[in-house]
Amino acid sequence: MRATRFAVAIVAPLLSAFCIVPAGAVELFAGGFSFSDELGGFRLTKASGSGTASDPVVLAEEFLELAPVTLVIRRQAALTDRDPLASLSLVKLVTNRSGQAWGGFVVELQEKLGHPSDYWDGLSFDQFGPRPADVSSDSFKKNNREFEPYDRIRFEDGHVDPERTARFTLTITDPTPTPTFYLLQDPQLLSAGLRGAGGTWAERTSAEALFHGG
């Protein structure tokens, strides 16, 4: 079993290094991984960092609509000296260009596209790490970690206004490892009854219009 796992750790990154990204998509490289927006609905604009806790991969994204999108992540350890079994520390800078305010944000790991990661595939938000998972956001006060039967985190109690950027910090681990996996990202509409800091975007917009005589 150990020899098989070692072989997977060596061969999987070699295979992923030769994947062809569709024309028009953006693929960025950082920390022994590549990140692609090939499934649509958002744009990748920047990636940097080595992926460690002290130097996380910082990934900048622009969401074009209020809809779930999926980030494709491929291991590229053949192009770096990074340990293929090392965890990935990730900081996502997500700019809301949907024209609507967000009242929540959900992320979900998937080893198979369209199917939530489960207990048996090994992929997780550092569920079994020696320290509590590094999960946070500057725009949402709470995060609800739903680790079983899938790997999902719900960021709540806050908001992201149009044209604002939210910061999310995550740690991803996969001791198997799989050459390609996916991060579903789902912004949640800020409803009329949901309040974050300073009230809802609709309430603030209405108040500003009244103040300016609109």
pLDDT of residue 13: 44
pTM of the model: 0.79
pLDDT of residue 105: 97
Quote the tokens at residue 172. 């991803």
H or E segment to which residue 204 belongs: helix 201-211
Quote the tokens at residue 202. 């609709």
CA 107 remoteness from chain centre: 6
Amino acid identity, position 128: F
pLDDT of residue 204: 46
pLDDT of residue 196: 45
* Strand partners for 102: 160, 189
Q: What whole-number distance in Å separates Cα of residue 195 and Cα of residue 40?
A: 30
Q: What whole-number distance in Å separates Cα of residue 173 and Cα of residue 160?
A: 28
Percent helix, strand and coil across the chain, each rounded to 5? 15, 40, 45
Residues of the chain where predicted confidence (pLDDT) is lower than 50: 1-18, 193, 195-214
Tally of residues, the chain: 214
Scored b (16 or more CB within 10 A) or e, 53-81 reads eeebbbbbbbbeebeebbbbbbbbbbebe
Handedness of CA 214, 188, 127, 88 (dihedral sign): negative
Q: What whole-number distance in Å separates Cα of residue 158 and Cα of residue 11?
A: 43
